[in-house]
Amino acid sequence: MDFFFDSPILILATASALGLFMAWGIGANDVANAMGTSVGSKAITLKQAVIIAAIFEFLGAYLAGGEVTSTIRKGIVDPKIFQDDPDIFILGMMSCLLAAGLWLLLASSRGWPVSTTHSIVGAIVGFALISKGASSVSWDKILEIASSWVTSPLISGFLAFFIYLSAKKLVLEKENQLNAAVNIIPIYSFLVTLVICLVTTKKGLKYVGLVWSDSEVLTYSVIISIFVSVVTAIFLRMNKESLRSENKYGLGGVEGAFGILMIITACSMAFAHGSNDVANAIGPLAAIVNVVQSDGLIDTTSSSPSWILFLGAFGIVFGLATLGHKVIKTVGEKITKLTPSLGFSANMATSTTVVLASYMGFPISTTHTLVGAVIGVGLVNSVKALDLKQILKIFMSWIITIPIGAIFTIVFYLILRFILIT
């Protein structure tokens, strides 16, 4: 049973490859649907989405992802029950990464926006069932996570609905829409920036050695948000005349102005996603690395090496660039027809919901949250604006993700155990 510790370099290399594969799947699916509204509304191009993701996904993971990573690594199954079987634990984490990554590959190739959180949670449950039995699973934690899968799209949908109603009343229904947009959009940019700054300064800075008081957190967050708001206002006023004409995507006037705001919300979406879902790839990998480096000691309090974050960030961006276009098309075009104003409302609602969930340590599904928001803005125009058949297909893909993740893990665990451990 000492195979893994006789070949630590080989095991670390294998685990890293599997972590990269899982991160690639996250990029192809979760990041793609997170960027779907921005690309689908023609506010940004796919190339621009990749650049935004490359920057802000990493920042979200590094500054605000530690708490959720902790939940993934030791919240569902207590790793200490494997203290006498470190080989089994490593094998199980590898099986989880392989199983979840494979399901994301299959789903992404078909354009299904499934949940990476569902995938990895299902995989970990499958590992626990096959190795230690049903009693080893923290079912109360599963229920806690499952409740967020129901509440997060509902909350996000309601937020998106009312955010778009506010935009409609304050801007879209005004006689001079462009003047109203120039005056109101900087306020929206302030609110979006404030949400991101609060979670970054309040929670994330402790991972880089900075500790600020609540008053300092609020003060600096407001200052940064005001700065972004002022820059947005200046940019809109300087480009007011050019906004009157349509661009190559047919966006002009007020929608062109909202297109500028979509850049800010796309950045916040990438940050929010990085803070929550990068843990799905680096959590199991970090657990393997810690066990190997400690010669079999399973320590849930040790920190993750920084290179793991870089590996996860690289895999996510690569996945978005290579296969993300299929899920982007589903989320950005097939649920409902999106404009930049609708996309902004969905993005702002989603990023707020996901960042707050990350702040509290709940590994919610970005997919569920975003789809809920897109449905919410679609309902503003009526149920007829929604493709109900497409929504049903998406819901069905959500339902089967957890059992498929568990089944794949059980199969891979049995195969790998037969091959590697005798």
Specify the range with the lowest mean pLDDT, choosing from 40-54, 102-116, 123-137, 175-189: 40-54
User: What phi, psi does 18 have (nearest 5°)?
Assistant: -70, -40
* pLDDT tier, 375 (very low <50, low <70, confident <90, very high otherwise): very high
Mean pLDDT of 117-129: 89
What sign has the CA pseudo-torsion 100, 101, 102, 106?
positive
* Contact in structure between 23 and 279 (CB atoms under 8 Å): no
* Contact in structure between 126 and 406 (CB atoms under 8 Å): yes
Q: How many helices (H) and strands (E) does the chain have?
A: 17, 0
Mean pLDDT of 39-43: 84
Number of domains the chain contains: 1
- 232 Cβ partners below 8 Å, 6+ apart? 185, 186, 189, 260, 261, 264
Query: What is the C-alpha end-to-end distance of the chain, expressed in Å?
Result: 7
Higher pLDDT among residues 108 and 384, named by residue: 108
Mean pLDDT of 222-242: 89
Higher pLDDT among residues 378 and 247, named by residue: 378
Residue 74 has pLDDT above 60, yes or no: no
The predicted structure's pLDDT at residue 262: 83
Q: In 3-state terms, what secondary structure has residue 77?
A: strand
Mean pLDDT of 176-193: 88
How buried is residue 383: exposed, middle or buried, by Cβ count under 10 Å (0-12/13-18/19+)? Answer: exposed
Distance CA 271, CA 351 (A): 8
Say which DSSP state 303 is in.
Answer: P
Classify 362 in phi/psi space as left (phi over 0), alpha (psi -120 to 50) or beta: beta
What are the tokens at 278? 């990068």
The predicted structure's pLDDT at residue 299: 61
Q: In 3-state terms, what secondary structure has residue 110?
A: coil
Higher pLDDT among residues 110 and 351, named by residue: 110
Quick one: three-class SS letters along 74-137? HCCECHHHHCCCHHHHHHHHHHHHHHHHHHHHHHHHCCCCCCHHHHHHHHHHHHHHHHCCHHHE
What are the tokens at 124? 């970990």
The predicted structure's pLDDT at residue 51: 85
Condensed to tens digits (0 to 9), the pLDDT of residues 292-349 reads: 877 767 665 555 677 887 888 788 888 888 898 888 888 888 888 888 889 889 988 8
**CA-based Rg of the chain, rounded to a whole angstrom?**
22
- CA 267, 270, 274 angle in degrees (round to 5)? 140
* Contact in structure between 280 and 22 (CB atoms under 8 Å): yes
Residue 26 has pLDDT above 50, yes or no: yes
Q: Which residues share a beta bridge with 159?
A: none
Condensed to tens digits (0 to 9), the pLDDT of residues 8-19 reads: 788 888 899 999
* pLDDT tier, 1 (very low <50, low <70, confident <90, very high otherwise): very low
Domain extent, residue 68, equals 3-420
Distance CA 57, CA 279 (A): 12
Q: What is the pTM of this model?
A: 0.82
Higher pLDDT among residues 245 and 56, named by residue: 56
The overall average pLDDT reported for the chain is: 81
